[in-house]
Structure 1
Amino acid sequence: MSGTLRNPTIRSGRSFDLGKMNLRQLWIAYLTYPTILLYFALIAVSFGLAVHFFAGWFQTAIAALAVILIYPVVWYLLHRYVLHGHLLYKWRFTAALWKRIHFDHHQDPHLLDVLFGGPATTLPTIGAVTIPVGWLIGGPGSAATAFCAGVIITCIYEFFHCIQHLNYKPRAAWIQRMKARHVLHHFHDEDGNYGITSYVVDRALGTYYVDARSRERSPTVFNLGYDLEQAQRYPWVMRLTGHAPKDRPDGARPGSDSAAQGNRHAA
């Protein structure tokens, strides 16, 4: 884990550490991060294509609305059944993918470098979800609109995801609640609160919970079920990591209140 931040670059070792950053530092990091800059460029390009192939105001509005409604459902399904699934780490050729897209984030929840999804996996997923929907609504113009909306929502998701791991207590009560639910997902029981900005799907499918008293603490909240036994059977993620899976964050004491320790500023 990287050391204490002492310099204005807000970098510590190999990574930005959200647990040691304030809101101003987050804005600087977010607005200069290469992945986010790439997303901004794609928003501009897709917006230009939407204007060039303009499908009409109705089709454009419907395409954007469809993405807004579909996005949290798709995110929930991917998060619950793919990112938290066990299939990818059991195959040599997909172990590195699973490690990068989610395992590393749960092992070190405050590291910005593994909080953002990789563009190589995120952008094709956004395209696969949004472009066909938009095309069916109004052809190439609506497809560009839908993709643009998907990337914009992704940027919003990523920023609020950073807020949820930031050493910062939001002023707005609704952001405090959002952050508290996500902290529970990372530090108490990972089998719930899969949403980022909305927990509507969690509520509908019975995976929403409001506090640590609602359920017992999960022993796999930091390793997603990839414990030492699984690592010995399927060693590829462990080999890539260079050490055995952690069952608590760095610096945590056995038996400590991990939810509180994970972020004292959550609520």
Structure 2
Amino acid sequence: MSNFKAPWRNMSAIRTGRSFDLGKMNLQQLWFAYLTYPTILLYFALIVVSAWAALHFSTALWATLIPVPVVIVVYPLAWYAIHRFILHGRWLYRNHWTASLWKRIHFDHHQDPHLLDVLFGSPLNTVPTMAIITMPIGGLIAGWSGAFCALSTALIMTCIYEFFHCIQHLAYKPRWKWVADIKQLHVLHHFHDEDGNYGITNYVPDRLFSSFYREARDRPRSKHVFNLGYDVEEAHRYPWVMDLTGSPPRDRPDGARPAADRNRAT
């Protein structure tokens, strides 16, 4: 008899609360979870809609497609800037009005890097950001046709990023050397020093702006790698994220705690 098991079987065993635990999933299970995840399905739908709109407004296909290589170059730089200076900045959690936004879009992910639902950003935040960054570029090149082409390109790139981002947190050793390399770089960002290796699949901006490092021995381990500087002292000074979490910030994810400690906590 075949040893094949449908990927949806035993999914409840790899869930932590409301989210899938990537640390317990294999590649087959990831494919199923990824391709059925509501955020990804929404991105797929928006890709179709924006591509249709680009063709609808197009007067010349060659002009419509010019934004594609431009977005491919600009988008990683924009992502790098957002990741480094906004998501890893401290001003969002120090403001009562933006604390919940920062918690959802990045703090929760660093507190427990293996949870799938906090790995994907909320579409309410990601889609407008993609549109604001890319549609004006496409619009300047080819009007509305170029604007929607640029948005479609950004959505496709985001889907690719997010899939490889999942693999970087998956209990899986990639066979493709390039994937193994980017996985190692991202693991360093989450478990050694958060002030570097901000890329997902593209580390050119890290190299350009001196935030790239290849091995743990290249720099000391950060004490804020899991809390992004929002430690207990900061939480008492700016309590809004802690209030939303319901507990003080952790200096390591639940999965890093000894089993005996986890059992006592439950």
Q: Could you state the TM-score of these two structures normalised by the residue count of structure 1?
A: 0.91
| CA separation of 1:209 and 1:55: change in aligned 2, threshold 3 A | farther
Letter of the 1:7 counterpart: N
Letter of the 2:96 counterpart: R
Q: 2:96 aligns with which of 92, 97, 106?
A: 92
Say yes or no: does 1:103 pair with 2:103: no
User: CA separation in 2, counterparts of 1:253 and 1:113?
Assistant: 21
Q: 3-state SS of the aligned residue for 2:41? A: helix
Pairwise CA distance, 1:41: 0.5
Letter of the 1:95 counterpart: A
User: CA separation in 1, counterparts of 2:172 and 2:197?
Assistant: 20
Contact 1:16 1:113 in 2 (8 A): yes
Q: 3-state SS of the aligned residue for 1:134? A: helix
Pairwise CA distance, 1:250: 1.5
Q: 2:248 aligns with which of 244, 249, 252?
A: 244
Deviant stretches of 4+, over 3 Å: 8-12
Letter of the 1:179 counterpart: K
Letter of the 1:162 counterpart: C
Please name the residue that 1:144 is paired with.
Answer: 148
User: CA separation in 2, counterparts of 1:32 and 1:253?
Assistant: 31
Contact 1:222 1:247 in 2 (8 A): yes
User: CA separation in 2, counterparts of 1:253 and 1:132?
Assistant: 46
Unaligned runs of 5+ in 2: 1-7, 259-266
Please name the residue that 1:129 is paired with.
Answer: 133
Say yes or no: does 1:118 pair with 2:114: no
Please name the residue that 2:87 is paired with.
Answer: 83
Q: 2:228 aligns with which of 224, 227, 230?
A: 224
Contact 2:16 2:115 in 1 (8 A): no
Q: What is the count of residue pairs matched by the alignment?
A: 250
Please name the residue that 1:7 is paired with.
Answer: 10
Deviations 1:214-260 (A, max 9, x none): 00000000000000000000000000001100001224359xxxxxx
Unaligned runs of 5+ in 1: 255-267
| CA separation of 1:101 and 1:110: change in aligned 2, threshold 3 A | same
Q: 3-state SS of the aligned residue for 1:152? A: helix
Deviations 1:2-60 (A, max 9, x none): xxx98245534321000000001000000000001100100010111111111423322
User: CA separation in 2, counterparts of 1:6 and 1:49?
Assistant: 39
Q: 3-state SS of the aligned residue for 1:38? A: helix
User: CA separation in 2, counterparts of 1:106 and 1:143?
Assistant: 33
Please name the residue that 1:261 is paired with.
Answer: none
Letter of the 1:28 counterpart: F
Q: 3-state SS of the aligned residue for 1:92? A: coil
